[in-house]
Chain A
Amino acid sequence: MKEITLMPQTDFLIAAAKDGDPIALNQLVKLWYKRIYNFSYKYFSDHDQAMEVTQKTFISMNKNLRSLKDESSFKSWLYRIAANYCHEEVRRQKRKWVFPFMKVQSKDDQDFIQNTATTWRESDPDREYAQTELKELLKRALKILPEEQRMVVIMKEYEGLKIREIAEVMSISENTVKSRLYYALGSLKKQLAQWNINKETIHYEL
């Protein structure tokens, strides 16, 4: 399992940012921006929506940081903001009628980001292709999951939150988190098997 690097300086930065230190605040944004963006991106599979949520989250963080009482709960606090904006965005998108050409445009943006992201990494074309293909399939598999399961899986698998932290973020019991995780993983497993995705078909390195 992939370990998310701990951020020991975060507590100190939060304390400084709470006192209104703009450098600390900017540093905090820099540290967490990528995480929140990736969290939202995996949730929506859409760059524009992920950017929207990320920006709103950090604006809200800047506004409300002073009201954060316990600095050690910053992580769950930040993810809770992001999760709330994700729900809001879903509601908003349901209400909104999207022009077809707008969708095309956002797809282009996605491709652009994917391309820049892959070229930035190692230049093994085989691995790149496998990566892109697997990523597309994983995107589709995650999209199939019910929203609450999807969010829990993303927080656990990609953001490395503890079960207790996820419970805190989503204001649900730890048992609910565990059960959602279990069902989500079961569904994903079934879905991937249906697409014939396994260790053998996808050549990855561990």
Chain B
Amino acid sequence: MSYKPTNEDLAAYLYGELDESTRAQVDQYFKEHPEARTELEGMEETRVLMSQWEDEEVPLIPGFIQPHENSEWLYWRKYVAIAATLLLIITFGWVSKFNVSYDENGFRAGFTKSADGLSMEQVADLMAKERENILSEVHSDMRGMQVSIDDNRSFMENSIEKFSELPEDQINNLLNEQKQQILAEMNQLSNKLTDDYREVFRQLVVSFSNNFETQRIQDLRNVEAAFNDLEDAITSKQEVFEEALYNLSVEVDALAPNNNNNN
């Protein structure tokens, strides 16, 4: 019974992974069947050709970044951070008495407790009332103005009527009266002005005389001082003169006997 290697055996043979005894059998078979050997050699050649495809170079080998030792903490850290933030917000809200509420009246947010606001109807009522007040005030103001305008008009109409009724001489009298009145006023004004001028002039004279007096006293004092100086000067000159006289008499006295002797 002759051995014929299976395809599997041939593949293993080709790669040198066949056990010792089977390999010997295959070798034996190849000796008997050289065409089978040629067939396998063809495969071997294919393998050689295939091995010409060399490895590709890898463009970039990345590295892994390992998480830290305390990865448990890293995992929980974000939750702790969120909790801390919430706690902070709540504490801040509590400290600042921040209040948020939502009910049928609507959403409310504010510091310290927010009081109940007015309802829509109340606000509308208030607005309507306020509007009525303003309107009535405006109406009364307008009425007052109307009345005063009417008064003025009637007064002016009356005056015109009066004037038109007066006779000509009476009008002249009236004008004369007015004229006299104005003249009297002008007189008064002129008198008043005259009085004022007089007072001003008097004061001017007084101040001038005062000034003049002080100037005179000053001059007299200057003259006095000049005289005093002159006196002093005369006295000193007199002394000098007397001393000179004395010196002269002494010299004369000294010379006199000599003269006597000579004579």
Contact = CB atoms under 8 A, between A and B. Distances in A.
Contact of A192 (B9, B17, B49, B56): B49
Nearest to B16: A1
Interface in A107-130: 113-114, 116-117, 120-121
Given A178-B8, A178-B11, A189-B42, A202 B61 contact: no
A58 B7 CA distance: 36
A189 B43 contact: yes
B50 interface: yes
Nearest to A162: B17
B52 A113 contact: no
A37 B56 CA distance: 8
A77 interface: no
Nearest to A198: B45
Contacts of B49: 134, 138, 192, 197-199, 202, 204
Interface residues of A, number: 51
Contact of A179 (B7, B63, B65): B7
A120 B64 contact: no
Contact of A182 (B8, B57, B58, B59): B8
Contact of A26 (B9, B42, B63): B63
B8 A175 contact: yes
B50 A202 contact: no
A206 interface: yes
A143 interface: no
A158 interface: yes
Given A29-B64, A113-B59, A157-B51, A189 B46 contact: yes
Contact of B53 (A158, A178, A192): A158
Contacts of A156: 15
A131 B46 contact: no
B197 to A, nearest CB: 115
Interface in B4-59: 7-12, 14-15, 17, 42-43, 45-59
Given A58-B62, A131-B54, A183-B7, 14 more contacts: A1-B51, A20-B66, A33-B61, A34-B55, A38-B56, A41-B56, A42-B53, A134-B52, A135-B52, A138-B49, A158-B53, A162-B17, A175-B8, A188-B50
